Structure 1
Amino acid sequence: MGIRYYAYAFDSGQTEKALADPFTVIGADPFADVLGLEEGFTNGSTDFRPSVPERDLLFLDKSWLCLQRLTAPSASRDRARPAYRMFEGHVTYLDQGMTWRPWLRALTPDEVAPIARDVEMLSDHDIEASVGEYFSSQLLESEIAYVTEYLHRAKNFVQAVASEGRGFAYLIG
């Protein structure tokens, strides 16, 4: 299955609750939410329409790591970009790597606005340059298309959350 990224928007009135425990605003079964399945799904079918409205849920699959690398501190930039707050984090491996504890973070409505401005500045060219550092030429084109698609989803989500004065909590796990 692998480690994936899920973000859930919340209304400003839920900020304190989300900061105290991000799981209060994150779905009980994020992967099921993305696929339009019921929590704990084990058998049946789906139409693959998310069960949570698009304005409330961002799924970045495994592209989050490329977006994290793109926005993290680098040799040419000693500080992370503001957008890094949206992608920062790693799971904590347990049981000799057999299981993990997810990374959780809640971002307040005040924190979302500068993140949204910075994410908007990320370009397809930035993705191409960043992805090119990590993948062979055989995989490069498909990986660039994959990460670019998810960057655009991230832009749409964070812009909407910011424009509505909302925050969001995310889980990497």
Structure 2
Amino acid sequence: MGIRYYAYAFDHDVTDLVLADPRRFLSSDPLADAWGLECADGVTIATFKQSVPECDMLYLDKAWRQLQACTAPLAPGMEARPAFRMFEGQVTMHYDGWDSWLRVLTPGEMAAVSQDLNRISENDLRQRLPAAPRADQESEVSYAVHYLQRAKSFVSNLVTSRRGMVYLIG
């Protein structure tokens, strides 16, 4: 299935609780939330419509890698863009699979992330993604742009509503 990205919003008044126990604010099955998995007569069916409202959950599929590459430091020792906080992280691989990456971004951190996300363009993605044959790169840029727009909308909503987010890469 692969490693995917899921983020859930939380209200500012529970920030301390989220920081103390972020897993408590994640779904037990984020892929089911993202894909709209429903059970009927013992059969699970994917509706491919996110079952959690888009203001409460952001699903970036595997595009987090492209968004991470676009916001990461240009070279070791250089500073990352503010939006990198939203995409930073790697799973820890081991013999039995992987351990997910988990991070909390507080409501106070969201404004800087949102402002920076809004400055990222399709051209920025094109320049920062690894070189590939033109058709492959265009497909990858198009894929990343779709999810970049979703991320911008989600984070903008968080700023407006004074909410934070907890995200999982896993």
Q: 2:167 aligned to 137, 160, 170, which one?
A: 170
Do the aligned residues in 1 keep the contact of 2:91 with 2:98 (CA within 8 Å)?
A: yes
2-structure distance, mates of 1:29, 1:57: 12
**Is the partner of 1:45 in helix, strand or coil?**
strand
2:80 paired residue number: 80
Instruction: Tell me, in whole angstroms, the C-alpha distance in 2 between the residues paired with 1:167 and 1:70.
Output: 22
TM-score relative to the length of structure 2? 0.93
Q: Where does residue 10 of structure 2 map in the other structure? A: 10
Do the aligned residues in 1 keep the contact of 2:37 with 2:44 (CA within 8 Å)? no
Distance 1:146 1:139 in 2: 11
Other-structure match for 1:91:
91
Q: Structure 2 counterpart of 1:166, which letter? A: R
**Cα distance, 1:21–1:135 mapped onto 2, change above 3 Å:** farther
1:1-173 → structure 2 map (5 Å cutoff)? 1-38=1-38, 43-75=43-75, 78-95=78-95, 98-131=96-129, 133-173=130-170
The secondary structure found in structure 1 opposite 2:44 is coil
1:97-149, CA deviations, whole angstroms, 9 ceiling, x for partnerless residues?
A: x4000000011100111111111110111011122x24322311111100010
Gaps of 5+ in 2: none
* TM-score, scaled to structure 1: 0.91
**Pairwise CA RMSD of aligned residues?**
1.8
How far the C-alpha of 1:38 sits from its partner, in A, is 4.8
Distance in 1 between residues matched to 2:79 and 2:14, nearest whole Å: 30
Task: Tell me the SS of whatever aligns to 1:54.
Answer: coil
The answer to which structure has the higher strand fraction is 2
Using the TM superposition, give the Cα deviation of residue 13 of structure 1 relative to its aligned residue in structure 2, in angstroms: 1.4
Provide runs of 4+ in structure 1 moved above 6 Å: none
Query: How far apart in 2 are the matches of 1:15 and 1:162?
Result: 14
Q: Report the secondary structure of 1:28's partner residue.
A: coil
- Aligned length, in residue pairs: 168
Gaps of 5+ in 1: none
Letter in 1 for 2:53: P
